[in-house]
Amino acid sequence: MNAQIDFESIGIGFGTSPLKGEEAARAVTSAIEAGYTLIDTASRYENEEAVGQGIRDSGIAREDVIVQTKLRGHDHDNVRGALELSLEKLGVDYVDVWMVHWPLPMLGLYPQAYEEMITLQEEGLVRTLGVSNFLPEHLDELKSRTGHVPAVNQIQVDPGIHRPELRAELKNRGITVQSWSPLSKGGDLFETEPVKSAAEAHGITPSQAVLAWHRAIGAVPIVRSTSEERRKQNLDAIKVTLTPAEVEAIGGLPQRELGEWDPRTHDER
């Protein structure tokens, strides 16, 4: 069973891709000092050492921060070794959330990898298991092979790719949605009329309006910023409640295709 983490109470998580080295460490420390409690990284980001340093530099107690990392594609057949390396780099005895980063169906190894992840969770090295970029067909295969339902699925979501059918399916399965790249390309999105109108109506920034939209649709956005001021502003979006009309208008923006990020074909190892 997954150890319970109340993702809804977290509100907004701090993302660390593509930060590296001292920049990543400083950003993580600053984010924790601003009030972020969920720190997201991945083996693929190659910044776990810096993320761990940033957590230690913050002085926060280990049990008061949720450390979330991901199993990269080329480790689907080296699950234990991958976790041991992530733990060493992060400088922790366990991770709170461990995800399969991409299903990579062309390899066909993700169900086997997830089975091994369950074993490592049972050994106390992981609190909660999740996935990233999984579609219902991949979740069905996991359930069939392992009997397990991930606690969370981190997927690409923004007002231009809001994926209502997938989000509804995940909700029906009891899986929390995390949004990666929640602000899309920022500038273009921020200039749209629904976002500008919501920001003006609430006296907030366009990015806060978009993050409030994520919360309104039941998603936990994972947002990154190199600016201390923007990190604080982003976190303050938790306090914003959009009207139903504003949520509908922002969700009604023209939709884009997943393109290269389609989990059925994307090969990121």
Catalytic (active site) residue 94: no
User: Do 136 and 167 form a contact (C-beta atoms < 8 A)?
Assistant: no
Closest CA to 178 of 52, 70, 53: 70
Tokens of 78: 């080296």
Dihedral in degrees, nearest 10, Cα atoms 26, 57, 20, 45: -130
Q: Are 89 and 52 in contact (CB under 8 A)?
A: yes
Q: Is the Cβ–Cβ distance between 195 and 220 less than 8 Å?
A: no
CA distance 30 to 156: 25
* Non-local CB neighbours of 64 within 8 Å, separated by 6+ positions: 37
Ramachandran bin of 184, using left for φ above 0, alpha for ψ from -120 to 50, beta for the remaining angles: left
DSSP state of 61: -
Is the CB of residue 34 less than 8 Å from the CB of residue 10?
A: no
User: Are the CB atoms for 37 and 31 separated by under 8 Å?
Assistant: no
Residue type, 148: H
- Please tell me which residue in 45, 94, 110, 114 is annotated as part of the active site: 45
Give bridge partners of residue 69 from the DSSP assignment: 98
3-state secondary structure of 23: helix
Q: Catalytic residue numbers?
A: 45
